[in-house]
Structure 1
């Protein structure tokens, strides 16, 4: 039976050393890497595909850890919170009680072996597009905004869009330095091509332009071909980049736009979505039942900005119905 591959993540070298020694005391497992922060943890996990990741509690408290959870699910590896305190609490989001580093080495190893046998809830893989091959109206543009819980939501939606869908521009709230990690994760699961937003980028069918942890606000520039712009500036609605900034920049193009606001804390995107709806765009909001945090979609709903409020599983279908060629609408039941 192959050794259990263990990745240890935490800034405290004493904690890491204790765990390394515990793992090395067992002939059935090996430490394949150590990491001191989340970006390094992400890179090493993605490259080495561990069976179990031991993560210091302080790293799991960072907002960017939601991206890590999505990667762990994609890799089908188990993760455990590591805490130096005895009786640090019951099972958390990982479904596994925290690992107490004060325990004997044999107990630490037993817990790791136990965790390695757990099957994580998988993310949706490459799936059949929601409507298969359906002609799209020329010139349509899809805009998306998300925050807390947004990575899994984006994966659920984008994985159902066909490779020839209208161009997509999106803002996901996350820390700086995670843009490339998010893009690689989305690319693992989607048929569309996922790229980081850069100044002057042309929005093309089948391509997703992503601003996450970017140094500026993502805005659209109208013209013969719609292009993206990353513009430095102050926080808007508490964020850089801001969903509101993206949505408002598309108001002149509202007749072409299908805008989507997914799960997230706060109200970024709500005002911009309202302006888009008032200008003639199709607007979609995720419902409360399927949102990790029903903050941004709730704010938009209460403003009257949401034309279609749907569950996460119906978002892609609603987008494609709004983008479909008019001759297809009757067949699709729009």
Structure 2
């Protein structure tokens, strides 16, 4: 998830009012600390607390908050079960707090796939001013977000597969941040399972990316995995950029797309960076289809503009379907996006763009 000024790419009117928060956590100590952190931000006010799911339901009904902070490890009904019921009965922005174990990472990713807006690690050192500022800023940004009701992408065509030839497959590049986990889950479900390779930068911690790739690999027909240096990309692959202090880039040699990992020597605002991925593909832009999805901030806008200027096909998620219309808006406003689509139509747009690319190359070879 990004850590940018919350006004970037979001409705300014939403920032004129204080946002109300309910804290759900079984630890009285953490609830007390989190209340102090959140109310240290004049734009936030805590209107209720709860120690378990039953109490949380009653407090939320009584206070109707703008955002909920949710401990994923609640007693009785756990946070994941509570979140699933909440998103059906009373959808609200939720920021999940979790520990950093592998099991917790998978649970947190599942929460994001269910519609939680953001995830934060439970603090080990509550005295850090930067940590407190980050938490309050991201909770406020979540309170200003749009809650989506998990639209399903249109299924990929079941007609006979197109004839494919070596060197004729385009490359699909995707950038996402806040709200991107649920968005990608929807989008991938509608992609052609044997379609062109896809490389994704999703802003989230490294262990959560591992869990996310594993969950997607189990859910879909495509081969979903984390990028490795020198990896050759083939149709039916979906590759996520790992968070290893390196940027994921792409290159092409003799018609073969390949992964390259690059050190973050210049200290980019995000690592991995969507801009870095997009810029790396500019020399081969005419064979690239790139899209920018929901997220806070501007990462990806400049890279997408460079791709479009060099001849790539570029799309962006529209405002109404974005959890946070920040990165897509930044890209749209600088002319980086050819067309915007609702999330439910994005996979079809990518499938059709890939089909047009193949048809163009067939004509060129005749």
TM range (shorter): 0.5 to 0.7
Answer yes or no: is the 8 Å Cα contact 2:247–2:264 preserved in 1: yes
CA–CA distance in 1 between the matches of 2:152 and 2:190? 9
1:276-329 CA-to-partner distances (Å, cap 9, x unmatched) read 001110001111111111111111101101011111111111111111056869
List aligned pairs for 1:217-236, cutoff 5 A. Answer: 217-224=247-254, 225-234=256-265
Matching of residue 314 in structure 1 with residue 350 in structure 2: no
Contact 1:146 1:262 in 2 (8 A): yes
Asked if 1:60 corresponds to 2:87, the answer is: no
Query: Which of 299, 324, 331 lines up with 1:300 in the alignment?
Result: 331
Quote how far apart the aligned CAs of 1:195 are: 0.5
Cα pair 1:237 1:244 within 8 Å, conserved? no
Counterpart selection for 2:225 from 186, 191, 195: 195
Q: What secondary structure, in the 3-state scheme, does the structure 2 residue paired with 1:258 have?
A: strand
Mapped pair 1:214 → 2:244? yes
Cα distance, 1:287–1:51 mapped onto 2, change above 3 Å: closer
Checking the alignment, whether the CA contact within 8 Å between 2:169 and 2:358 is kept in structure 1 is no
1:70 Cα deviation after fit: 5.5
Higher RCO (CA < 8 A, seq sep 6+): 2
SS in 1 for 2:206: coil
- The Cα of 1:175 is off from its aligned counterpart by 1.4
Alignment CA distance shift 1:169-1:133 (3 Å): farther
| 1:213 shift after superposition | 2.6
Q: Distance in 1 between matches of 2:329 and 2:236?
A: 29
Once residues 184 and 221 of structure 1 are traced to their aligned partners in structure 2, the CA distance between those partners, rounded to angstroms, is 25
1:7-156 mapped onto 2 (5 Å cutoff): 51=81, 60=96, 71-72=110-111, 124=152, 128-129=155-156, 132-135=159-162, 138-156=168-186
1:53 Cα deviation (Å)? 7.7
Map of 2:279 onto structure 1: 248
For the 8 Å contact 2:170–2:357, the answer to whether it is kept is: no
User: Structure 2-normalised TM-score?
Assistant: 0.58
The structural deviation recorded for 1:60 is 2.2
TM-score, scaled to structure 1? 0.63
Aligned partner of 2:193 among 163, 166, 177? 163
Distance 1:70 1:151 in 2: 8
Whole-angstrom CA distance in 2 between matches of 1:214 and 1:265: 21
Distance in 1, Cα, partners of 2:28 & 2:304: 47
**C-alpha separation in 2, matches of 1:144 and 1:267:** 14
Deviation, 1:50, is 7.3
How far is the alpha carbon of 1:13 from its aligned partner? 10
Q: Distance in 1 between matches of 2:317 and 2:114?
A: 26
The root-mean-square deviation of aligned C-alpha atoms, in Å, is: 4.2
